Amino acid sequence: MSAGQAERSGGGTQAGDRWSERVTRVLAPNPSLMTLEGTNTYVIGEPGSDTVAVIDPGPPEEEHVQRVLRAALGRRVELVLLTHTHADHAEGAAAFAARADAPLAAVERDWATAGAPSLAAGAALRAGGVVLEPLPTPGHAADHCCFWLDAERAMFTGDHILGRGTTVVEWPGGDMAAYLDSLEAVRRFEPARLYPGHGPMVGDPATAIREYVDHRMQREAQVLAALEAGDRTPAEMVSRIYADVDPALHRFAELSVRAHLAKLVREGRALEQDGRFTPP
């Protein structure tokens, strides 16, 4: 069996994992605490199309780039898209797009190349024989964008919704109020499946989104309770709320608590002065 036949038959292959007849996932070699097994680079093409689109080329690792190009099965890369510009998704994107001679599109215009389509809500993109609709989803990052693949009722969710666990929404880059609005924006599409930026495909998006919202609401309630109990700084709140979590992670937890506090301050449910927080 040739490599191409192996890829067409599905399952794991050297060049990528066939997750649907249109979508191949190529796992980048950058596993970590924050990236799970690594970043998912997606190669998308309608069966019979002689082009593909690529979402999140990932790190500038030659072996990974080779696997992404192999997963295209000889089809030309027509468009490269970024869900956001964090390094684990985007560091190799400009070089990959240049090598594939394809435009690179991103919400962050400094990253987009000349001639790339702008990623506006509802402005459908045509590449790889499919229609991809950008859905700007600020929250994890201000420039975050999901992509709707109507042919599969599927959403590419980047770091907005992961394959398992929760994503980080950290002050000051992250915005908790925007993040929750963006979860609702994805839910309204009633997706049948999610292709996340890290981890496995999500087959029950409604449940996953509900769990994400519940998790944030529970955390917000804990922050409000800590405020009522007399905690005045994010560090104090983290010691209380994350008492059973490895202290090595408290630095990240503090930025997450800070993102919740920013939302509460904006809503008039907490007051801030010189980095100290009080009930209104």
| Residues within the interface to Zn ion (CB under 5 A) | 86, 159
HSE-CB at 2 with a 13 A cutoff on CA atoms is 6
Report the nearest approach of Zn ion to the CB of residue 139 (Å).
11
Find the shortest distance in angstroms from Cβ 184 to Zn ion: 20
- Return the number of the residue (152 or 159) whose C-beta is nearest Zn ion: 159
Give burial (CB, 10 Å; 0-12/13-18/19+) of 246.
Answer: exposed
Q: Where is 66: in which H helix or E strand?
A: helix 62-71
Q: Which of 7/91 has CB closer to Zn ion?
A: 91
Q: How far is the CB of 179 from Zn ion (least distance, A)?
A: 12
Helix then strand count (H, E) for the chain reads 8, 14
Residue that is written with structure tokens 């919704």 in the block: 161
Nearer to Zn ion, 142 or 201 (CB): 142
Strand-pair partners of 41? 26
Query: Which CB sits closer to Zn ion, 67 or 86?
Result: 86
Minimal distance in Å, beta carbon 84 to Zn ion?
Answer: 6
CA distances from 55 to 81, 206, 218, 222, 237 (A): 5, 23, 32, 36, 38
Structure tokens at 47: 């069966």
CA distance 93 to 157: 17
**Minimum gap (Å) between residue 222 Cβ and Zn ion:** 24
Closer to Zn ion at the Cβ: 86 or 216?
Answer: 86
Residue 161 structure tokens: 């919704």
Of 159 and 175, the one with the shorter C-beta distance to Zn ion is 159
User: Shortest gap between Cβ of 208 and Zn ion (angstroms)?
Assistant: 18
